[in-house]
């Protein structure tokens, strides 16, 4: 098992650094998303190097070197979170927490350095550093869990992924999230076992080490394939927009195009999708986003108002049906495309000046 683990970890490290080197040398004008992906693989590889050193007891007999440990794994998820934010072009208000992660990383190393110094001066024994290491890992696990949850939200929510779905298959990111949950399960298991000192601490981290290395193999392989897509994304979008805009000349009447949009949304009930966006509509209509926005603004106000009014009108139809009495207002809200019951009440009152229940009572004869 020891030899197998060594081979798996070592080959993973070589592949990881090869991927980083290839990315740095082959892409001169790298977009931010690609830089963050390379950093993610780099720190994952550094973490595995550290594991190889400790698993093989290369510092045996050197108490100082054995005590020095860097929390490289703390930086892994923040950098992948930053990659996802930039890859999906999510609102810049969303923070990748890289600075916070580095601050925590440096703080933890300084605290560890103090414990090591006190131990070397024989003012405390090794048990203090041993306990601190456990506390440090619990803190890092909690931080990583929070960031990984944000990543899973970004990847799985339609409103984020639809912007790039037309030129990249996002299944690889969804598979990454699933694999990430498996890795985190092994991590939680190892931390719990370590906290209770089960006595098998020599092997309890092996499932975590192997799973993270397999993830490193996979992300390096897939990342290499996706690198050109990531690097050329802006150019692709610009070309696509130019082609679409070229077809939208002034000989086409805007009112006719708006009628097409109206027909598409109404017949296909696109307003019932709570995550339906202007970007998605533009893709479906094969028109540029700016052109679709201009049409809707001219004919029906903003896109949000246009869609929300359709949702309210759909809710009115359902409220008048006798069968609707069997369902809660929350169910009706979701049926019409509202994201929540509170969102339904707020918008319904905005456009009708009364609550759904009040409106239904007004329409029903005594």
- Give the start-to-end residue ranges of the domains of the chain: 2-236, 248-363
pLDDT band at 43 (very low <50, low <70, confident <90, very high): very high
CATH 3.40.50.720 fits 248-363, yes or no: no
pLDDT band at 251 (very low <50, low <70, confident <90, very high): very low
With both helix axes pointing from N to C terminus, report the angle between 73-87 and 98-120 in degrees, rounded to the nearest 10: 170
**pLDDT, tens digit (0-9, with 9 covering 90-100), for 120-170:** 888 988 889 889 989 999 999 999 999 999 888 888 775 666 555 555 667
Task: Report yes or no on whether pTM surpasses 0.75.
Answer: no
**pLDDT, tens digit (0-9, with 9 covering 90-100), for 176-230:** 888 889 999 999 998 888 888 755 566 788 888 888 888 877 877 777 666 555 5
Q: Which CATH class is domain 2-236?
A: mainly alpha
Other C-beta atoms lying within 10 Å of the C-beta of residue 67? 19
Residues with Cβ within 8 Å of 249's Cβ and at least 6 positions away in sequence, in order, are none
DSSP string, 59-117: TTT-HHHHH----THHHHHHHHHHHHHHHTT--TTS---HHHHHHHHHHHHHHHHHHHH
pLDDT at res. 34? 84
SS3 string, 44-70, reads: HHHHHHHHHHHHCCCCCCCHHHHHCCC
């Amino acid at each position: 098992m020891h030899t197998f683990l060594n081979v798996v970890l070592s080959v993973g490290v070589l592949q990881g650094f090869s991927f980083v080197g290839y990315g740095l040398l082959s892409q001169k004008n790298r977009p931010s998303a690609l830089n963050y992906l390379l950093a993610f693989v780099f720190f994952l590889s550094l973490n595995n190097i550290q594991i190889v050193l400790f698993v093989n007891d290369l510092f045996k007999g050197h108490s100082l070197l054995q005590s020095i440990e860097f929390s490289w794994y703390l930086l892994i998820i923040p950098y992948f979170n930053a990659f996802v934010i930039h890859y999906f072009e999510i609102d810049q208000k969303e923070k990748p927490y890289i600075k916070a992660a580095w601050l925590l990383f440096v703080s933890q190393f300084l605290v560890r350095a103090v414990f090591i110094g006190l131990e070397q001066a024989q003012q405390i024994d090794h048990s203090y550093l041993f306990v601190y290491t456990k506390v440090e890992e619990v803190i890092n696990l909690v931080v990583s869990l929070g960031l990984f949850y944000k990543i899973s939200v970004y990847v799985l929510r339609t409103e984020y992924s639809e912007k790039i779905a037309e030129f990249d298959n996002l299944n690889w990111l969804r598979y990454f999230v699933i694999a990430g949950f498996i890795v985190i399960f092994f991590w939680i298991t190892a931390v719990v076992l370590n906290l209770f000192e089960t006595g098998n601490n020599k092997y309890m981290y092996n499932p975590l080490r192997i799973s993270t290395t397999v993830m490193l193999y996979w992300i390096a392989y897939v990342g290499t394939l996706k690198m050109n897509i990531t690097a050329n994304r802006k150019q692709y979008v610009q070309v696509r927009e130019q082609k679409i805009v070229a077809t939208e000349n002034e000989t086409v009447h805007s009112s006719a195009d708006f009628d097409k949009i109206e027909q598409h949304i109404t017949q296909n009930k696109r307003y019932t999708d709570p995550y339906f966006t202007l970007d998605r509509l533009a893709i479906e209509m094969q028109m540029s986003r700016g052109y679709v926005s201009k049409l809707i603004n001219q004919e029906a106000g903003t896109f949000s108002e246009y869609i929300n009014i359709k949702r309210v009108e759909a809710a009115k139809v359902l409220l008048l049906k006798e069968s609707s009495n069997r369902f809660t207002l929350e169910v009706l809200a979701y049926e019409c495309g509202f994201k929540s019951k509170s969102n339904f009440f707020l918008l319904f009152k905005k456009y009708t000046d009364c609550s759904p229940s009040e409106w239904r009572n007004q329409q029903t004869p005594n």
